[in-house]
Structure 1
């Protein structure tokens, strides 16, 4: 608790943790996770643990059919297989623990000034409940998620978003939501708490980054069922090998059969499945996006349609100067100088953009602002400008400037009139510029499309995702911006009903739809969409309706969420392909070596020429354990998504991970066999 201000919680910085620092605690957790209650959450690894236990017991049986030394080596490598899988999961969880500890520290000891009757009482932030009203002043931390009901203040959200620049929060409108553990840096706010303890943004983030409370997603559950099915199939296969051996007058030791079962079941993906899911959620948290469910993240990876608001997402949100058009007989420097002087004292985004544009194109000497007699913009005149050295410089709407100059529309010079009309038809806003009663030309203001957004839409298109721009603009303006941005479709003059109808139409055709929004009017569409991304600084209605919340309030983040979802699905699919191919390869690599003595005809299939049945089994077990370690970095980093459609992406992954999964066991087991033989372990 801050000694100077009892209502100010500790603001701990978010710490990063190196891989080396994570290894030691992850190793400890690998042993902790041997608890049977934890192992049963991963059925495949539970089977491996049972097999390792059985093999360990067989080490004490003298007539088990194998030497005690070989049985002990097999048992140890079976336990290593379980530990390596646990280590992968613990490593994925550990990546978020430092961030979770920092977030917890930020809320530890935090107090609140809660309204009670006509006054206020000081209580612990943990005692607040939904509906409580608290007052927060400059220098104090906001004690919980809420909505501003009175006041205007600058809020530092660095403890949550990592951004140091304060943001303005005020009652009413779409910027009234505040997040717990953020700090008021000026003025005061009256906040109504909207989340009970354990339900806040901070609590959800901690649960996500720790991974321990993460619920399995539908795809993970389905994959678990598949892995259990494959395990049962190979269990039956292994159980039938002993009768075949007995029929040929031989015998397979129980230790061999136990080891063979582990090498054939899908231990690779079974050991890495949880780590893949936790790492995927960690990547989402690094984007400062809170997921209310894992289903939303998976759905993001499968979306077919992406609905994006124009303002602030595709465009910068403020009209900017993009061109100047001079009137007949006027020089470019004269127009530029008049436009600059008329805009110097204009602090609106449009005025600032005019100054920036002109300074970037022309070497103009701007007069000191204090020397200007400023004429501020007013809704009545729709003009602004300045007087300087006896000259009057004005800029404003076309009709307003013409009225100021006592001119009619038909008196506008024909070339300039055509350019003004062209600007309006393209969706831009024309402003006229005048100096000392003379019309000098026009300024072209337009919604400027963000750099690189067209290329990003191109990537999404190559992935098979269609983009739809949603805007309240008229169809003409919307079409012009859509063409420049490169979106596939546009909804102009959008209303809540229009958005909702379009989402339902797409879903009726079997497509998954993603959308972002921040206003109360976006709530119905966010709730209907398969992936709804709400802005953290938006309304409470939008945040409650969505299944994802962006703490940075950056609408373009939806594009990154889609990429994370695709990476999660592709990584899981790639490693599943590798694991299944691995198992098939190991089946044909080991069985000929085991049965060549009983069925000499199988010698033709023994392509690897392993040293002996004993070395074949031990080599397979060692490879089975080590391949999990080799694949841990890939599981944590994720498979990078290429800008390809689904069919080409599938072919690429089959080629890399399918063929790789078939080849790796033959090479790996042979090398391990040579090494074990060379050192005399078999």
Structure 2
């Protein structure tokens, strides 16, 4: 119950903040950044002037009441447009407030050159200071573990409750300020000054303070400004055309007509669409360093993926048991399982799991007194020797063969063939022996994650090419690539090979995305158009990337691409709807204005609007209310479906283009029927 009431309070708080922001954004110094809505504000101000002091020279046939109605509707239109942007920003600010709690009143155990510890405020820390963090301490700033190993709770940043292991000298040595040490002690070198931490950047980004207009937004704004300029010329021309045919169009009507014709719908929603796109990424636990990064995801045509941890689980697991000599598969299953009963490595556990699936049943507790053969770099084998002297061993082929020969055993004639066949498949062969008798081979393979083939197929349908990078030999790389369903692979890849692969794709005019977590990935992340660093990775990787996955899930790149595409499709859909709206309003209003003096224009007044004044007011009201009506679509985004560009364009035209033409005719007619009695009472019908 508490959670629900907090959620409602948060929603109410966001809405109230957005309402306040809608009024504050009326400042012309802010509004000038949105040319279309700035034109509306100028029209609103002029309407107010003519409401206060109507001019018989310019405002022929229109009085204070009509001017006041036009002013009021334009004012509400501005508030709705500002509210759309403020509600998007408000969601970001709510997320920022929760992040700020992680920084509040943090302390640091500063270690000086003499080895003495002084407790200071975290805000006093400087770059390269050394701090000590023990269990229960909040890590005071971004840094790198230089000594120790400990579990760290990163839920304040990622929302994931499971702690992660941080260790000096590994790819998981990077720590983030605001996270909490759960166990043991870490010595940490602070790598940033206060105000420059990852958490500070997150807060700035989700608040929208650091959001800059993307290239696509700028291009669309240029188009909207061009359309606005054209419609200003058209509206001015209509005034003189009206005079020529004895139709007196007042200033308020001209302003209303201009506002109905210019693309106010998309002009009012454009900024909120961009902010909402970044918010969707944040809600997906991805921090985008700019709106440009999110937008670029939608245009990505090549994705470069590491094999280990991304395409495969990273551990070689048992896939099959192969008998050799005169032995049966059941012999191999039992010998392999017995050699692995006390082996707690992922490989050993997988052998027992697979054996149990195939019918092996034995309790490990029965052999607690058995002698355990631990794996080492010298013996390259592991296993167990029972109390009765029976020895079960598994290990590298040459090690097992050498042991068997030393104990006067024989080597099965087909052993080498089975070892070679497994190697050709890209697997790892482990030879299994009972005493001095080799019974078979365990086929270990790097297991491809479930569902990846289908996901890569989905990317292919979007026109996106997938390239797998791996340090494995070409044969293993080919096998994994075929099983996963990627389009291409790079075997025995070094860091410079990744950069070359990115440059090669970019030279063909493609946008490239890649994931990485290590320091050696940093150059490639910087070269890629969309570089996604893992939060668990090194500081160098996070600094080089333009997106950070807080969950450290490399396969999330597929969803990130879809978020970018959803942003572009949403903007395109609402732009199509807005322009279609303008066309419909044009044909709805103009015939009603000219019908009084040109009777033949009545044939075009297909909706039978009551008068020119009711037509103008109805169209203007529709123009205002359509903005908040579309806010949910701008915030949630148009649902993305895997399809070709032609299919998406056709769907946009049918749904949003045709809908944008039909909806205004219906809505304006309904509004006209509702307001006609009121306008009649006011004497301005």
TM-score by length of 1: 0.94
How far apart in 2 are the matches of 1:407 and 1:30?
Answer: 85
* Correspondence 1:4-83 to 2 at 5 A: 19=11, 22-61=14-53, 63=56, 64=59, 65-83=61-79
Shift, 1:28, TM fit: 2.6
Q: Which moved more, 1:457-466 or 1:327-336?
A: 327-336
Equivalent of 2:374 in 345, 362, 376? 376
How far apart in 2 are the matches of 1:227 and 1:67?
Answer: 32
Is the partner of 1:655 in helix, strand or coil?
A: helix
Shift, 1:181, TM fit: 0.5
Shift, 1:404, TM fit: 2.1
Is the partner of 2:382 in helix, strand or coil?
A: strand
Is the partner of 1:107 in helix, strand or coil?
A: coil
Shift, 1:668, TM fit: 1.6
Is the partner of 2:127 in helix, strand or coil?
A: coil
How far apart in 1 are the matches of 2:526 and 2:630?
Answer: 38
Matched, 1:354 2:347: no
CA deviation profile, 1:630-666 (whole Å, cap 9, x unmatched): 1111100011221112232222222222222222212
Shift, 1:411, TM fit: 6.0
CA deviation profile, 1:321-366 (whole Å, cap 9, x unmatched): 1122233543444432322221122121111222222233425132
Task: State whether residues 515 and 533 of structure 1, in contact with CA within 8 Å, keep that contact through their aligned partners in structure 2.
Answer: yes
Is the partner of 2:364 in helix, strand or coil?
A: coil
CA deviation profile, 1:457-490 (whole Å, cap 9, x unmatched): 1111111110000111111100100011111111
How far apart in 2 are the matches of 1:434 and 1:337?
Answer: 11
Q: In the alignment, which residue of structure 1 is the partner of 2:323?
A: 326
Shift, 1:86, TM fit: 1.4
Q: In the alignment, which residue of structure 2 is the partner of 1:149?
A: 146
Is the partner of 1:380 in helix, strand or coil?
A: coil
Equivalent of 2:167 in 166, 170, 184? 170
Is the partner of 1:516 in helix, strand or coil?
A: strand
CA deviation profile, 1:262-289 (whole Å, cap 9, x unmatched): 1111111111111111111011112222
* Correspondence 1:252-267 to 2 at 5 A: 252-267=249-264
How far apart in 1 are the matches of 2:81 and 2:26?
Answer: 10
Is the partner of 1:543 in helix, strand or coil?
A: helix
Q: Structure 1 residues 16 and 474 mapped into 2: Cα distance closer, same or farther (>3 Å)?
A: farther
Structure 2 unaligned spans of 5+: none
Shift, 1:412, TM fit: 4.7
How far apart in 2 are the matches of 1:490 and 1:341?
Answer: 38
Equivalent of 1:138 in 135, 139, 153? 135
CA deviation profile, 1:368-404 (whole Å, cap 9, x unmatched): 1634321111111111111234222111122222222
Q: Which moved more, 1:389-398 or 1:313-322?
A: 389-398
Task: State whether residues 535 and 548 of structure 2, in contact with CA within 8 Å, keep that contact through their aligned partners in structure 1.
Answer: yes
How far apart in 2 are the matches of 1:505 and 1:312?
Answer: 25
How far apart in 2 are the matches of 1:203 and 1:498?
Answer: 34
How far apart in 2 are the matches of 1:132 and 1:482?
Answer: 45
CA deviation profile, 1:199-238 (whole Å, cap 9, x unmatched): 2111111122222442222222222222222111111111
Equivalent of 2:85 in 82, 85, 89? 89
CA deviation profile, 1:525-582 (whole Å, cap 9, x unmatched): 1111111111222222222222222222221122222111111111111111111121
How far apart in 2 are the matches of 1:607 and 1:640?
Answer: 35
Task: State whether residues 14 and 94 of structure 2, in contact with CA within 8 Å, keep that contact through their aligned partners in structure 1.
Answer: no
Is the partner of 2:52 in helix, strand or coil?
A: coil
Is the partner of 2:619 in helix, strand or coil?
A: helix
How far apart in 1 are the matches of 2:243 and 2:571?
Answer: 40
Q: Which moved more, 1:570-579 or 1:471-480?
A: 570-579
Shift, 1:21, TM fit: 5.3
Equivalent of 1:220 in 214, 217, 220? 217
Aligned length, in residue pairs: 669
How far apart in 2 are the matches of 1:361 and 1:305?
Answer: 41
Q: Which moved more, 1:72-81 or 1:320-329?
A: 320-329
The CA RMSD over aligned residues, in Å, is 2.2
Is the partner of 2:554 in helix, strand or coil?
A: coil
Task: State whether residues 614 and 679 of structure 2, in contact with CA within 8 Å, keep that contact through their aligned partners in structure 1.
Answer: no
Shift, 1:83, TM fit: 1.1
Q: In the alignment, which residue of structure 2 is the partner of 1:587?
A: 586
How far apart in 1 are the matches of 2:63 and 2:587?
Answer: 25
TM-score by length of 2: 0.93
Q: In the alignment, which residue of structure 2 is the partner of 1:7?
A: none
Q: In the alignment, which residue of structure 1 is the partner of 2:503?
A: 504
Q: Which moved more, 1:262-271 or 1:439-448?
A: 439-448
Task: State whether residues 16 and 98 of structure 1, in contact with CA within 8 Å, keep that contact through their aligned partners in structure 2.
Answer: no
CA deviation profile, 1:153-200 (whole Å, cap 9, x unmatched): 211111111111211112223111111111111222221212222221
Shift, 1:499, TM fit: 1.3
Task: State whether residues 341 and 366 of structure 1, in contact with CA within 8 Å, keep that contact through their aligned partners in structure 2.
Answer: no
Is the partner of 2:192 in helix, strand or coil?
A: coil
Task: State whether residues 464 and 646 of structure 1, in contact with CA within 8 Å, keep that contact through their aligned partners in structure 2.
Answer: no
How far apart in 1 are the matches of 2:176 and 2:350?
Answer: 32
Q: Which moved more, 1:39-48 or 1:488-497?
A: 39-48
Task: State whether residues 205 and 289 of structure 2, in contact with CA within 8 Å, keep that contact through their aligned partners in structure 1.
Answer: no
Q: In the alignment, which residue of structure 2 is the partner of 1:449?
A: 448
Shift, 1:304, TM fit: 1.3
How far apart in 1 are the matches of 2:488 and 2:563?
Answer: 24
Is the partner of 1:345 in helix, strand or coil?
A: coil
Q: Which moved more, 1:579-588 or 1:62-71?
A: 62-71
Q: In the alignment, which residue of structure 2 is the partner of 1:479?
A: 478
Is the partner of 1:556 in helix, strand or coil?
A: helix
Shift, 1:316, TM fit: 0.7
Is the partner of 2:265 in helix, strand or coil?
A: helix
Q: Which moved more, 1:121-130 or 1:573-582?
A: 121-130
Task: State whether residues 410 and 437 of structure 2, in contact with CA within 8 Å, keep that contact through their aligned partners in structure 1.
Answer: no
